[in-house]
Structure 1
Amino acid sequence: MPEALRPADLAAALRFATDWLGVYREQVNALNVYPVPDGDTGTNMHLTLQSVRRELDTCDENDMESVARAISYGGLLGARGNSGVILSQLLKGFSETIRSVKTVDGRTLARALEKAAQSGYAAVMKPVEGTILTVAREVGEGARNSRGATPLEVLHDALTSGRAGLERTPELLPVLKQAGVVDSGGQGYLYVLEGVLGYLEGKALPEAPAVESYAAQSLEHEEFGYCTEFLMEKATVPVEKIRELVQDFGDSLLVVGAEGFVKGHIHTNEPDQLLATVARYGTMVRTKVEDMSEQHTEILSMAGAAARAEAETPQNGLVAVAAGYGLVKIFRSLGARVVSGGQTQNPSVQDIVDAVRSVTAHKVIVLPNNKNVVMAAQKAAELLGGRAVVLPTKTLGQGLGAAISFNEDEDTETLAAAMQESAARVTTLEVTRASRTVQLGEYDVREGEVIGLRDDELAHAGGSPEEAVIAMLEKVYATQDILTVFSGPNVTEEQLGTLQSHLEERFPNLEAEFHTGGPDLYDYLVTLE
């Protein structure tokens, strides 16, 4: 064991820790006591680390500052849920400490772990003891008091202290004691550190433990029902101002910033209004809204799946890549495990592999729903040895068309053919903004101008988003089409209402549905079948 870790050593250790946490993800989920604070702690923390891993894969591993930025930036971009956002802040504090050093020795590691805890506490308006914060503080204190000189020795002492802190969490948080569990976020954090330790000791990944019971057995009353998140860049006001803007919308509030981005998490009953308020002060990069009662139902269904006998395992499962909370909600209602991603947010091969492995089924059909994700999905299928079947859906509209035909009990080959046929019947119209000035065929497009895409091909430029939808529809509308419209986070309720009125006037025979929660960076996503 070296006296100090080089940047490449630290990057490799965090990659291994990501896989280590992945092994225990469902066990961490099983510890969660709904609704304190979200229903899928292990998954949220794992997704956060997967984002860190993606950034590490593209950074300069010979430069500590580059590795530190990848840790901080990747953590913030990938943070999901309370647990993920707090983990991102632990990573931010850690990275701030190591950014200016060439190697990480035992003392530097101790300072970094202590700074991580301080950063976590600073991010929370009302810190609660008995949570991941308590465990992080105990880890930092154990590292500071360690007499070890090497990273390995310091980490051993930090984990010993952290485990003792985790065992005390039920005494600090009565709801944990009532459920007979320790804090899920704290346990997840320790698994991350155990993964780093496992890498330093040259261990192999363990087998995933069987999860036989879940702590979330009853739905407690929650005043605010929607877990709402946003990631914003180019903010025109300080993080503190954005925090003030959203604090009256609900509780479980976290608004943090790093590397030029602002990340927010809040439980609210007004997700659309909250997102519209925030969007006035920057460029919205990503949003997520989840109904926590549905989250709770999903947890209980996972508990039931864990108890299934092999004979009861369904023939088919479904994984879909999607962005935008309205679309995610529909894919989930159709039976899909959703991988977060889409335009400018392509998931990695490992993200898709992890999602497929989490599905209880003999075969899993994968819907990439973006032409830039198809190859990653196909590579994931190769790694899974034939368990995954990829349908090369290139738009979210095609993916929705395919998902509607999903049947968990049908012969997989027959089902895949039927889903592919359903996907082919869907036309997808997307309205977004041009990222640069360019001449494409008959269209002279200016940066920032409204553009319309028909099945990923440029089909309109100029005017308002609503005019773009109508203009494209006039070219493809038949007499008995079914239309579904998803509005993005920057579209107001008034704009959506205006579009609905114009469509009803222009196309009186059109059967149309309107939803919020479309993909980020898009004004509208429209499916026509």
Structure 2
Amino acid sequence: TAYEAVMKPVEGTILTVIREIAAACETEANKDSDIVATLLTGIAVGYTTLERTPSLLPILKEAGVVDAGGQGLIYFLEGMVEGLAHEKEIALSDYRERMAPVAQDKVTRQDIKLEFQYCTEVLIKGLEMSTEDIKDHLRPLGDSMLVVGDEELVKVHIHSNHPGKVLETCLQWGQLSDIKINNMLEEVHEHISNWETIGLPNIAKPKKLGLVAVGIGEGIIEVLKSLGVDIVVEGGQTMNPSTEDLLNACNEVNAESVIIFPNNSNIIMAAQQVVELCDKQVVVVPTKSIMQAITALIAYDPEGDTEEIATAMIDEMQQVKYAEVTHAVRDSSINGLSIKDGDIIGILGGEITVTSSDPEDVLLKLLEQMVDDDSSLITFFFGDEISEDEASKVNDTIVERYSDCDVEYHFGGQPHYSYLVSVE
């Protein structure tokens, strides 16, 4: 079986969907139903099972999506039914009434269980705030927590059963604004209630603005999504997505307008081509780094005209200094530096300014070039080749050297780049 073919079967994936579809089709076939009725039974059950996948797999719930493999399987079966119906001149509406009980009985409100019910977001405006202190106070209240910002402006995202306690806690640091509290359980219940008779979910009304970003690395993708990005197109310095990839992502976002964050100078042109090709309004915020995008997204205010929103984001991203620590891929001589293939190099604002044999040494030398008297926040993401212990040790060194700055570090998981760092 499919389960036996997988070393570690995971519920909430295509395995769950295909198991339920197979069982439903077998039951229907035993009633001597024809192939169209049998497949429609499977499709109806497949859709109801698909809607349950986020409650079975936390990563889907966090991303706000259903399992893509399960969705693809259902599309495949729908294509078979459409072909059979056309060939046999069958009206699919003849089957709708008899299919209704399957969809209604399969999933109920009681089937959906969430450990934390409310998605809470808030901006804190204060003075001399510490994101680490805020995290420590919020951590017992829920999960999926993200606290980012500087001494004067911090954005909080957390899933909790007590949004009031979250807000009360945040009030300790300053004034609150842009408060959003979504009842995730009620949203799922409402979606179930709106299903049509054969179990197909209604197409949701497009929102005003969607966000698409380019990124790679488990931690990077998680942060981008927590800051409101709808779709992350995998790519980066060594794997540039095509114009078609970005166009498909913009079309997939259920929104009237889309803002793209290329996050690499080599991808900006491909993103700009999407503006001409997409039927939706598309605006490019020409970010050259993940760090620029994160800064822009923290200040994201969805109210207003799309062009105005993008302009405000561009203004924000220009306030951040960003750098990268990576490996040289060939011998060269740049900016007075003699670089050998395999050396660790530091790239500041697109220019190689540091070289060494040690990634931590390069990171610290970059910060010497980036931090000035006006700096208040240092943020870095460590890549897949850096251990948590190594990142923690370099964080301690940075905290000691730059005691006037808040310092944050996160697992990025990005390949090829030991560290991504920003200073604000």
TM-score bracket for the superposition, by shorter chain length? 0.5 to 0.7
Match for residue 379 of structure 2 among 469, 478, 484: 484
Q: Secondary structure at the match of 2:300?
A: coil
Q: Secondary structure at the match of 1:336?
A: coil
Distance 1:216 1:321 in 2: 37
CA displacement, residues 384-427 of structure 1 (integer Å, 9 cap, x when unaligned): 14511112111112212222232211222222221111111111
Which residues of 2 match residues 384-399 of structure 1 at below 5 A? 384-385=278-279, 387-399=281-293
1:465 partnered with 2:359: yes
AA aligned to 1:123 is V
Distance 1:426 1:365 in 2: 20
Distance 2:216 2:276 in 1: 25
CA displacement, residues 11-63 of structure 1 (integer Å, 9 cap, x when unaligned): xxxxxxxxxxxxxxxxxxxxxxxxxxxxxxxxxxxxxxxxxxxxxxxxxxxxx
1:335 partnered with 2:228: yes
Q: Give the equivalent residue in structure 2 for 1:506.
A: 401
Distance 2:281 2:80 in 1: 30
Q: Give the equivalent residue in structure 2 for 1:515.
A: 410
Which residues of 2 match residues 265-304 of structure 1 at below 5 A? 300=187
Q: Decide which structure has greater strand share.
A: 2
Contact 1:432 1:524 in 2 (8 A): yes
Contact 2:46 2:74 in 1 (8 A): no
TM-score (norm 1): 0.48
For residue 500 of structure 1, report the CA deviation from its aligned partner. Answer: 1.3
Which residues of 2 match residues 65-80 of structure 1 at below 5 A? none
Contact 1:159 1:190 in 2 (8 A): no
AA aligned to 2:378 is L
Which residues of 2 match residues 413-452 of structure 1 at below 5 A? 413-452=307-346
For residue 478 of structure 1, report the CA deviation from its aligned partner. Answer: 0.7
Q: Give the equivalent residue in structure 1 for 2:258.
A: 364
1:122 partnered with 2:5: yes
Q: Decide which structure has greater helix share.
A: 1
CA displacement, residues 334-379 of structure 1 (integer Å, 9 cap, x when unaligned): 2221323222232232332233234344322111111122122112
User: For residues 169 and 429 of structure 1, do their structure 2 counterparts lie closer, same or farther at Cα, with a shift above 3 Å needed?
Assistant: closer
Unaligned runs of 5+ in 1: 1-116, 139-156, 200-212, 223-268, 270-290
Contact 1:319 1:366 in 2 (8 A): yes
Q: Give the equivalent residue in structure 2 for 1:496.
A: 391
User: For residues 302 and 506 of structure 1, do their structure 2 counterparts lie closer, same or farther at Cα, with a shift above 3 Å needed?
Assistant: farther
Match for residue 75 of structure 2 among 191, 200, 205: 191
AA aligned to 1:321 is V
User: For residues 161 and 186 of structure 1, do their structure 2 counterparts lie closer, same or farther at Cα, with a shift above 3 Å needed?
Assistant: farther
Distance 2:272 2:107 in 1: 36
Aligned length: 310
Q: Give the equivalent residue in structure 2 for 1:144.
A: none
For residue 477 of structure 1, report the CA deviation from its aligned partner. Answer: 1.2
For residue 524 of structure 1, report the CA deviation from its aligned partner. Answer: 0.9
Q: Secondary structure at the match of 1:413?
A: helix
Distance 1:348 1:298 in 2: 37
Match for residue 474 of structure 1 among 356, 362, 368: 368
For residue 331 of structure 1, report the CA deviation from its aligned partner. Answer: 2.2
Unaligned runs of 5+ in 2: 24-33, 57-66, 84-103, 117-142, 144-157, 161-182, 195-201
Distance 1:346 1:216 in 2: 43
Contact 2:241 2:267 in 1 (8 A): yes
AA aligned to 1:489 is D
Q: CA RMSD in A?
A: 4.8
For residue 329 of structure 1, report the CA deviation from its aligned partner. Answer: 2.7
AA aligned to 1:522 is Y
Match for residue 324 of structure 1 among 217, 239, 245: 217
User: For residues 367 and 299 of structure 1, do their structure 2 counterparts lie closer, same or farther at Cα, with a shift above 3 Å needed?
Assistant: farther
User: For residues 404 and 454 of structure 1, do their structure 2 counterparts lie closer, same or farther at Cα, with a shift above 3 Å needed?
Assistant: same
Q: Secondary structure at the match of 1:354?
A: helix
Contact 1:131 1:169 in 2 (8 A): no
For residue 121 of structure 1, report the CA deviation from its aligned partner. Answer: 4.5
Q: Secondary structure at the match of 2:392?
A: helix
CA displacement, residues 456-477 of structure 1 (integer Å, 9 cap, x when unaligned): 3212111311111110111121
TM-score (norm 2): 0.59
For residue 454 of structure 1, report the CA deviation from its aligned partner. Answer: 1.0
For residue 443 of structure 1, report the CA deviation from its aligned partner. Answer: 2.6
Q: Secondary structure at the match of 1:219?
A: coil
User: For residues 487 and 370 of structure 1, do their structure 2 counterparts lie closer, same or farther at Cα, with a shift above 3 Å needed?
Assistant: same
Distance 2:315 2:362 in 1: 28
Distance 1:372 1:160 in 2: 51
Structure whose alpha-carbon radius of gyration is higher: 2
- Point out the more displaced range, 190-199 or 475-484: 190-199
Contact 1:121 1:127 in 2 (8 A): no
Distance 1:198 1:338 in 2: 30
Distance 1:299 1:340 in 2: 30
